[in-house]
Amino acid sequence: MKKIGVGVIGVGIQGERHAAVYANNPLSKLIAVADIDGAKAERIARKYGAEVYFTDYHKLLDMDEIVAVSIATPDFLHRDPCIAAAEAGKHVLVEKPMATSVSDCQAMIDACRKAGVKLMVAFHNRWNPVFVQTKLSVTNGDLGKLVYAYARLNDTIYVPTKMLSWASRSSSLWFLGSHVIDLLLWLFEEKPIKVYGFQRGGKLKSMGIDTPDLYGYVLYFKDAIAFGENVWILPDGSPTIAEFKLELIGDKGCVYTDHSRGRSIEKITDRYIIPDTYVYYDLYGKPLGFTAECVNHFIECVAMDREPIVKGEDGLIVTKIISSILESVDRLAEIYVS
Ligand SMILES: NC(=O)c1ccc[n+]([C@@H]2O[C@H](COP(=O)([O-])OP(=O)(O)OC[C@H]3O[C@@H](n4cnc5c(N)ncnc54)[C@H](O)[C@@H]3O)[C@@H](O)[C@H]2O)c1
């Protein structure tokens, strides 16, 4: 089978992972990468064997050999490269959140539909084995009718202060909450009727990063309630950068998950850490973990002309709910989701 030619737009932390997966998947060939930071683009191109690199992603999109692209620019910069990629006839895998406004999501869906190309959103927790097991417990009826969920995805303060240069133009709600909300919608298999949200700030602002320290929110489903929490200021001494917990309660059973603190390996030096052997890790040069599986799924869909598990519409509904939570925070009121 001829390899699918692929390009990656935005090769920071997450874009590098996409590039590594494409370079290792026997179905794909990494042809080019693009990043406004030319030195970074060059380093990633060399490391993963891409033929060329660009600082202007339009040049990458001009290449006929490229059939599909990943977009891993900052949260609020997904729309323009996605629409340009669709207009150039490329299939698109866009990082989460799909975009930070409903109108941007709709424009991206419209452009991909018009061009007849696939559009997938990288909600990689759909490939997280712990949540796949949880979903199975819902669909096979083990839990009965779902009544309550508590989901907590928090990061250490390293993420908004050192890892992301653009944290003040995003938030824990967009960066982390988008994962939680996609997970809750997938498990509950319905849209909430209304939402309520709140935020607290101070610490990040005092450090010159204009974004709240935390968001909390309630999703009111028809017969169930889900509570979500995204804190961005956990102490740097935490053993993992992210902490993800879920409690899902039905009228016949419940599931509790805590994959981020699974203690199969603990490492203690001048600090205590739990190395990642689960989300994304390297095994003799091969990228593994559910982040890699999500990107592998996209390339398989392109190669075999299948529809991706997570579509543009899934990205749009998450953005719509986050927008409603933000409206609720502003108005101190429950907001009905249209
Ligand atoms: N870091 C993670 O663990 C992680 C996990 C899952 C999803 N994501 C998502 O992936 C996306 C990227 O996040 P990241 O952590 O890699 O951020 P990052 O800041 O490390 O990388 C973003 C890259 O995009 C580049 N860029 C900005 N504007 C560009 C443009 N117009 N053209 C080309 N390149 C451009 C930047 O120079 C940078 O290298 C975000 O949407 C984020 O939410 C990140």
Domain end, chosen from 234, 257, 278, is at: 278
Cα 296 to ligand 1 centroid, rounded to whole Å:
19
Among 21, 35, 169, 240, name the best residue to mutate to test ligand 1's pocket (greatest count of ligand atoms within 8 A of Cβ).
35
Q: Is residue 333 part of a domain?
A: no
Q: Is residue 88 part of a domain?
A: yes
Rounded CA gap, 93 and 298, in Å? 7
Q: Is residue 323 part of a domain?
A: no
* 118 and 135 part of one domain: no
Cα 13 to ligand 1 centroid, rounded to whole Å:
7
* 87 and 135 part of one domain: no
Q: Which helix (H) or strand (E) holds 283?
A: strand 281-283
Residue 95 domain boundaries = 4-124+285-310
Cα 98 to ligand 1 centroid, rounded to whole Å:
12
Phi first, then psi, for residue 148 (nearest 5°) are -155, 145
Phi first, then psi, for residue 97 (nearest 5°) are -65, 150
128 lines ligand 1 (CB under 6 A): no
* 142 and 67 part of one domain: no
Cα 166 to ligand 1 centroid, rounded to whole Å:
9
Q: Is residue 226 part of a domain?
A: yes
Residue 150 has pLDDT above 90, yes or no: yes
Q: Is residue 326 part of a domain?
A: no
Q: Report the Cα–Cα distance between both ends of the chain, in Å, rounded.
A: 45
Task: Identify the bridge partners of residue 254 per DSSP, sorted by sequence position.
Answer: 249
Cα 185 to ligand 1 centroid, rounded to whole Å:
25
- 3 secondary structure, DSSP code: P
Phi first, then psi, for residue 156 (nearest 5°) are -75, 165
Q: What CATH number does the domain containing 107 carry?
A: 3.40.50.720
Tokens of 23: 């370079």
* 145 and 116 part of one domain: no
Which residue is closest in CA terms to ligand 1's atom 8? 14
Rounded CA gap, 278 and 129, in Å? 9
Q: What CATH number does the domain containing 217 carry?
A: 3.30.360.10
Half-sphere CA count of 321, side-chain side, radius 13 A: 31
Cα 298 to ligand 1 centroid, rounded to whole Å:
18
Total structural domains within the chain: 2
* 164 and 224 part of one domain: yes
Domain end, chosen from 278, 301, 328, is at: 278
Cβ neighbours around 302 below 10 Å, total: 22
Rounded CA gap, 145 and 60, in Å? 49
* 164 and 56 part of one domain: no
Domain end, chosen from 278, 300, 321, is at: 278
157-160: Cβ within 8 A, 24+ apart: 157/203, 157/204, 157/232, 157/233, 157/234, 157/235, 157/236, 158/236, 158/241, 159/232, 159/241, 159/242, 160/204, 160/209, 160/211, 160/232, 160/233
pLDDT digits (tens, 9 = 90+) for 91-113: 999 999 999 999 999 999 999 99
What atom of ligand 1 comes closest to residue 78's alpha carbon?
41
Which residue is closest in CA terms to ligand 1's atom 5? 14
pLDDT digits (tens, 9 = 90+) for 24-76: 999 999 999 999 999 999 999 999 999 999 999 999 999 999 999 999 999 99
Residue 262 has pLDDT above 80, yes or no: no
pLDDT digits (tens, 9 = 90+) for 288-329: 999 999 999 999 999 999 999 999 999 999 999 999 999 999
pLDDT digits (tens, 9 = 90+) for 205-260: 999 999 999 999 999 999 999 999 999 999 999 999 999 999 999 999 999 999 88
* 271 and 302 part of one domain: no
Q: Is residue 304 part of a domain?
A: yes
* 149 and 205 part of one domain: yes
pTM: 0.97
* 153 and 240 part of one domain: yes
Cα 15 to ligand 1 centroid, rounded to whole Å:
6
What atom of ligand 1 comes closest to residue 164's alpha carbon?
19
- Which of 58, 57, 56, 115 has its CA nearest to residue 87? 115
State which amino acid sits at residue 71. I
Among 8, 11, 14, name the best residue to mutate to test ligand 1's pocket (greatest count of ligand atoms within 8 A of Cβ).
14
3-state secondary structure at position 219:
strand
* 88 and 137 part of one domain: no
Q: Is residue 13 part of a domain?
A: yes
Q: Is residue 64 part of a domain?
A: yes
* 271 and 297 part of one domain: no
* 11 and 78 part of one domain: yes
